[in-house]
Structure 1
C-alpha cells in the first residue's frame, strides 16, 4: 500500500483535494489537525492533515490468497459490527489488511491493533471557563445533562452555579430546568434572545453559568446567527456539542456542519446505556479532532455521568470490553 499525506485548511478541503489528486480509490487512514509554517515560532497556522492509503496491485500465490481471505473475513466481521459509514469501514479494513501483511494473525489481535493505529481519542474537562453552553439536536438529553454537570460543579467542586435556558419552544422545558434549580438551590433564568442572554451573563453572580439551548433538526437547519455571534465573540464561553450514542453514524457529518462557525470545545455523548453498538463513537473518533469530555449512562441526576479517559474510550471499542453502560 502507498501512503500519502494531504494538507488543507479544513477537513472538507483536504477531502476534496484528495478526490481530485488521487481519485476514488484513495482511503483515509487517519485525520488530524497540525500546525505548520510560521517564523520564529510565530504566525503558525492549523491545517487538516489526511493520511491516505492507495492499494497497490500485486499478484498473490493461491495459498497466500486463501489464508488472507480467511483472516480478512474474520476481521471484517468485527468491523461490520461497528456499523460505521462505508468510507470509515473501508479505511478500517485497509488498515487491518496492512497489519495482516506484516504477519500479525488472529482476528481479535488484528482488530485491536487496527483500532490502536487509526483512532487516537482525546479527552478534556468541563468548567475551565465560566460559561458552559450545551448545543445539539433535539432529543439528545441536553437539559438532563446540564443538570448533571451543574450538580457535579455544585457538590463535587463547591462552585456557585446558575442556569440560563433558551429553550422556550419545547413544552415544559423551562419548568424542567427550574425544578432542577430548586433541587440544586440555584437561580434559573430565561433568555428569549441573544441580547437578553448577554445581559444575564453579565448580571448573574455565579462561579459557573450553564446555558441550555433548544434542540433543532440540524440536518435541515443552521445555528441562529445571534447565538453564533454570542458564542464567537465571548472568550469566557465553552461550547459543548451533545450527541446521542444511539444516533446513526451516517448522519454525523451532516449533523455537525451547522456547528462549523463556532469552536467546539468538546463532545458530550449521551445514552450509552441505550445502545450496544459504538458506531457513532467510532465514526466520531475517526473523523474529528475535538475531545470527548463526558458520557452519560442513564437518566438519574446527578449520577449516571462519567468522565472517561482515552484508555476507557478505546476500551469501549475493543473486543474484550463490554459495549454497554455497565462498563463505564
Structure 2
C-alpha cells in the first residue's frame, strides 16, 4: 500500500486533491488539524490528511510532488511519505475503504470513530450507510450536522430485547451471568427493588456465588432491606428444592459467580447450575468500560450458557459508547462472538439502588457515541 500525507487549508480541499492525484480508490487513513508557527503559536491552522492506495496500482502513477500555486500558499503539499514500509506511518493500521461521494464532514466522523477504537470495517459501514440513507430521503444536500443521521444509523443496528416481563401468579426465573467485576449483584438488587417497589411483584432471590462470602452477604443485606426471601445454593442438585422454598413468587432473580470467559471448566460448572434451575431468561452482564477484544472474548466464552439478552453496566464510567456498540455489532459476524448478536435489555449508570438502571434505548446509546457535545462540535467545524 502507498501512503501519502497532504496538507491543505481545509478538509474539502485536501480530499479533492487526494482524489485528483490518487484516484477514487484512495482511502482516508487519518486526519488532524495542525498549526504552523513556533509551538503552534502565531501560525495558521490547516488540515493534514493521510491517504493510502493499494499496491495493485503502479508506483509510477503516483505523483511524487506538486507545486503550490503562488496565489495560494496554502495549496496542497504532499509530504512524500511512502508506506510500502508499514513502519513509515502508524496510520496504516486505520485503513478504511473510501467513497468518492462521501461528504467531507462525514469523512471526519469516520476518522474520529477509528481513533475511538471502532474497527475500520464497522466505521466504514456506519459512514457509508449514513450517506446512503440520507440519499434515499431525496435530499441531495448535506445536512447541517451529520451527528444525528450517523446516530440514527447506529441506533438502527442496535437490537433491543425490552425489559423482563412478569405476570402475577406465574413464576418467572431469570439468571444473570458474566465475568467478575461487572456488577451482577448490584444489578440484581436494582432489578429486585424496581419489581418490588414499582411493579409490586412478589420476588425471591437466589445465589450460587458461594466463592465470595462478601457476595452472599451483600445480596442477603439487600434481601433483608426489601423483605425478600433468599436462598443460597451450593450444589446443582439442591437447586429445585431451593426454588420451591422461595414459595409462590412472581419473579426469581438468580445471582451467579463471576467466571472467566477463558475458563472452560468454570463455564461448564455454571452451565450445570443453569440446567438445574431451568431459567426462563438468562442475561449476560457486560461492562461498558470493556474494550472490543474483551467483549468478543466474553460473548464467545459464555455462549455455552445460551444467554438471551445482555445488560450493559457502568455506562457512567465510560466517556463514549462507540467502542462497545461496535463490539456488539461485530459479535454478529465474528467467530469470537460466536456469531450471535444478542439484544440489550437494561443499561446501568451508577451504584444507586434502584435508581441507576433503565431499559436499554437504542437512540440514547447512539447519542453517547462520542465523548461529548464539544467533540461533536469540533468535528462539524473541521
User: Shared topology, TM-score over 0.5?
Assistant: yes
Shorter-chain-normalised TM-score: which range? 0.5 to 0.7
TM-score by length of 2: 0.59
With over 3 angstroms needed to count, the CA separation of the structure-2 counterparts of 1:157 and 1:96, relative to structure 1, is closer
Secondary structure class of the residue paired with 2:239: helix
Q: 2:35 is matched with which residue? A: none
Q: 1:46 is matched with which residue? A: none
1:248 aligns with 2:286: no
Unaligned runs of 5+ in 2: 1-53, 58-75, 77-98, 333-340, 376-382
**Alpha-carbon distance in 2 for matches of 1:88, 1:187:** 46
- Structure showing greater radius of gyration is 2
With over 3 angstroms needed to count, the CA separation of the structure-2 counterparts of 1:322 and 1:121, relative to structure 1, is farther
Offset of residue 161 of structure 1 = 1.1
Q: Deviations over 1:265-298 (max 9, x none)?
A: 2111111111112111332145443221111111
Secondary structure class of the residue paired with 1:316: coil
Q: 2:158 is matched with which residue? A: 121
1:302 aligns with 2:354: yes
Q: How does 1:134-173 map to 2 (within 5 A)?
A: 134-173=176-215
**Alpha-carbon distance in 2 for matches of 1:284, 1:91:** 14
Offset of residue 176 of structure 1 = 0.7
Query: Number of matched residues?
Result: 265
**Alpha-carbon distance in 1 for matches of 2:135, 2:373:** 26
With over 3 angstroms needed to count, the CA separation of the structure-2 counterparts of 1:266 and 1:67, relative to structure 1, is closer
Offset of residue 67 of structure 1 = 8.8
Instruction: Report the aligned-residue RMSD.
Output: 3.8
With over 3 angstroms needed to count, the CA separation of the structure-2 counterparts of 1:85 and 1:223, relative to structure 1, is farther
Q: Deviations over 1:217-238 (max 9, x none)?
A: 2134465335425535766521
| Contact preservation (8 Å) 1:267, 1:292 | yes
**Alpha-carbon distance in 2 for matches of 1:233, 1:113:** 47
Q: Deviations over 1:92-137 (max 9, x none)?
A: 355467679985646942x643453464223211144611100001
Unaligned runs of 5+ in 1: 1-54, 324-328
1:274 aligns with 2:317: yes
1:238 aligns with 2:274: no
**Alpha-carbon distance in 1 for matches of 2:173, 2:102:** 53
**Alpha-carbon distance in 1 for matches of 2:125, 2:102:** 17
Q: 2:108 is matched with which residue? A: 74
Q: 2:173 is matched with which residue? A: 131
Q: Relative contact order (alpha carbons < 8 A, sep ≥ 6): 1 or 2 greater?
A: 1
Secondary structure class of the residue paired with 1:78: helix
User: More displaced, 136-145 or 305-314?
Assistant: 305-314
TM-score by length of 1: 0.68
Offset of residue 170 of structure 1 = 1.9
